[in-house]
Chains A and B, each alone.
Chain A
Amino acid sequence: MLVSSPLSGKWTASLCLLSTLCTLWTPAVSVKEHDFKKCDQSGFCKRNRVFADNAGASSSWESPYNILPESRSFKDGQFQAIVLKTINAKGDTVRLPLTVSFLESGTARVTVDEEKRQNKEIELRYDSKVRKERYNEAEEWVVVGGLGLDKEATVGFEDKSQTTVKYGPSSAFEAVIKLSPFTIDFKRDGESQIKFNDRGLLNVEHWRPKIEQPETEKKEGEGDGGEKKEETTLENKEGSSSSGEDESTWWDESFGGNTDTKPRGPESIALDISFSGFDHVYGIPSHAGPLSLRETRGGEGKYSEPYRLYNADVFEYILDSPMTLYGAIPFMQAHRKGSSVGVFWLNAAETWIDIIKAKDWRNPLSLGGSSKTSTHTHWFSESGLLDVFVFLGPTPQDLTKKYGELTGYTAMPQEFALGYHQCRWNYVSDEDVRDVDRKMDKSNLPYDVIWLDIEYTDEKKYFTWDKHTFPDPIGMGKQLDNHGRKLVTIIDPHIKNAEGYQVVTELKSKEHAVKNKEGSIFEGWCWPGSSHWIDAFSPAAREWWATLFKYDSFKGTMKNTWIWNDMNEPSVFNGPETTMPKDNIHYGGWEHRDVHNLNGMTFHNATHHAVKSREPGELQRPFVLTRSFFSGSQRVGAMWTGDNQAAWDHLHASFPMILSQGISGFPFSGADVGGFFGNPEKDLQTRWYQAGAFYPFFRGHAHIDSRRREPYLAGEPYTSIIAAALRLRYSLLPSWYTAFHQAYVDGTPIIKPMFYTHPGEEAGYDIDDQFFVGNTGLLAKPVTEQDKVTAEIWIPDNEVYYDYFTYKTIPTSKGKRAAIDAPLQKIPLLMQGGHIFARRDRPRRSSSLMKWDDYTLVVTIGRDGGKSAEGDLYVDDGESYDFEKGQYIHRKFVLNGEATTISSTDAESRDPSSVKEGDWMKKMHDVKVDRIVIVGAPASWAKKQATVESEGKSWPASLDYSAAAHGRASFATVKKVGARIGADWKVVVS
């Protein structure tokens, strides 16, 4: 475009072109914070904050929303009414249909719509063809169950001012719906937990026509038209509306050179939600900040911006910030001693959440002026329905379970997905991949998956290979398959706008692309340059998408090829905030503004279904990683925390983020090990691997500009330390897999923060750098600080804790921190007494090569001196859906110290004959329990021999006992137990 000689006559022309291009680039030119909106740059955010400020400033503030008393009805667990919003001094009102549904699960749902829009009785500007209703399809994407109405729910009390509904388990829950102003108080056992509109910040921006400027006036005031216009608008508005609102962002707004035309005008919804007596709230990922959310209205140690949920490609994100990131889960929970409650704000539009905490003086008469802190939140979304689910707990487990009932639980992953993933932008050729594969083996570094970023394609055309650098993808795939390994290739939603590229030709001709506000195919910039975006909201587009992944279509892929979906926020380099214009149009006539936060999930979902069955008869559990996500994404894959940096603080920030994902229903998450941008020092890289060994999703990744850093390049002692961390992960895979199964069953996080496991311990509420792994009792606190050689682990209870590696009994006391030595080669990892967990100790090259290895069980004796310990193990073939047909092993292990036996029984008390064993289960007959290690074994274990009883036989097993010495706890080892892992058995010491 530019000519080489500045003297050339083309210069001027080039300059023009150049400046045009510059405008196009503006949003991407400088990224970081200022590329993304602050609240006051986002019209509805500013309006609602002002609304809140005004309400707060006036002592006589009264919410203008009232239930029309005679509109109330209650039937089959559903309360319905019309809320009237008074919109001016004359008393004109707008009708807002309200539905409060009480669900069988004990969850309540509050939905507010707007009658005029519902009935399409509005006019759109610019002859826009978009839908007139408020977006009402988020539920279709997000909610998969749990909507059954609670027929037992009853109206407990009703009069002119309120309706009270009793619902939930043993009718212990209560919703007090007040009419004037409209509020709801959710109580459990008579105690107030969550209040809606308590502060009167409910705000439904009703439809109104734009009162256009009379043309003549405009002409008159041409010189200073801007000011004039504003004045006039103000006058006009005062004529038609009662409040002195700021209209400047009602009809259009600009940011970074992009103007959003708003054919439907202002339409935001907002609500204040107070958590009575709770001073900790969690959730609403993804943000790079502490697990326990900060206040957002300024002040020492607080944010001054609300938490934002607007999925975006945030380049080099900053830490400790409420700024939006790549994915959104609008699920918030509050915890205090004895109670855990939550809300799920089902809205896919741009959403902001303000949080403040305040002392309650609810009972001024009580002596000593004892006060509780309550957390007051204020939610606002740009468009769509007001649709909120209320969970009344009372435990953290209840929350994750009920939330999962609605949005689905984590998909059962393929087992390989829990292994180590080796990624880099980019492995430059198939040779390079083969070389890395060999070198990992050479250096005894187990791994399961190697990844290809965008450079494998032919000029960023997805579903193609660069024929120079990847001439033989099948040969490469086969080499990986030799050791049971997989390949993950990236496929993004932007499709290169290039001549002769079959995929884009079809995308265009079949109209599967997202459209712009004029209704023609939207064109923007991403990696390939000019691109179009698949509209995965369209069923036909998804069907078409699936065809692209067929083995004979995406040539070069095999059964062991899986997919990585990146840039699906979507990232549009020249769009506002690096994403799509909000007035783009999706399938069904919905504006992008309505569905933005869902976009990533629909694409991820489309890919998931596409790779589930790539040839007739095939049915594999897909592995698809996504960067963007929404509530429900957990059903289709894993996520990672995006583009972090090779810095200690980013390592440190990874655990709060991953823990937050865990409690928010999407636990299959990880951060890029080593840090995406930059070059980690070797000690950082090593520590990061030690930390990564505890990420549910464990992947090393690096930016194209960074130096190569495959762990074998680190050199000694680093490579060996990393190898040991990898082996730790692999040896514990049976327990990780069991934890994933638990997440699949009831939404339990894979790694659990202290408040989750010990909700009664207030001192643990803001601890977010240590966690328990599944139900193993393993308590880890990976080192995330430079030069740190000790870890101070906070001890939540009076249990016994052993060092994982030395069996040392750690001197602990409840609520205190225990110092653990943690030189570079050591991961601070404790075993809590009272558990039994499974390992596979044989080091192998990949997880699939461990499939038939025998198990080691570890029993940790608790403070009861070995009277009891428990644990479980879930195993299946790790790849197919046969587990849905009962083809799995799920054992419950129990130590009974009184009789000194350890037994294994079916965890679900299934009748073994009820399941016809398939191929995998038959093969598992050869897989045994090899050893049982009893850490902290009391003296009753000091025998030479134990007896194993199983399947009608009994045989002796040798038993080694080592008395406690030098701080190490006593331990016993039962050798060659020899019982089948899938069978009932008992080891008896007598």
Chain B
Amino acid sequence: LSCKVLSSVVTPCYCFVSPQIRVKPDNTGVVTDGVKHSMNPFCEIAVEEAVKLKEKKLIKEVVAVSCGPQQSQETIRTALAMGADRGIHVDVSGKDYENLGPLQVSKILAALAKQEDAQLILLGKQAIDDDCNQTGQMTAALLDWPQGTFASEVSLEGDKINLVREIDGGLEHIKINTPAVITADLRLNTPRYATLPNIMKAKKKKIVTVKPADLGVDVTSRLEVLKVEEPPQRQAGMKVETVEDLVVKLKEAGRV
């Protein structure tokens, strides 16, 4: 299968080692100023898979895409250091970035896929800041392409893709046609480190910046966030000696 591959690098998101995320005082969102941003771990796995496929000579080119403000270029650089060939930065900043959700991102990716004539889109299964798990599926729908989500094994066979998906019931084996969208799950591979020599070489690889409007995509959000609040504080538990005590307490609390 020789084709261009669009490897999607999702917007840089809060790395899970961030200190406690705080809700903004006006409850409109979370504080993002200065919080450590880096590549979504599932997207790292997707990039690694794309680079592996290229190393096996099954695909011709890996293009890394990220949507977000200027800083998201660092995420693209990391993908380039891991082995992607070139990058596309879709510049979305300020209020537009705060409202950027899966629907807008998938519209952008669909437009880019058509523009780049891609045959395969690889994404992480979900972003660890919003846990939406929607972008891959929506992109496939917009392009009317088959999708292989939660992939834990990917192999190319001619112009079809064999996929093993991790589902609640176990492992599902499917075969899908190309062009297709694949989202990566945790056990697909172990991403390589982006070592310093590769980061330096990546500085020479090209990153092109485009605006959503250039792709004919309107990023206005269809959703309005009403309120963001912290989860309720965990209440202390209570120990009871007998089952009868338990029933009494449950009745008292109005739970039974």
| A, B bound | no
Binding site for A on B (CB under 8 A): none
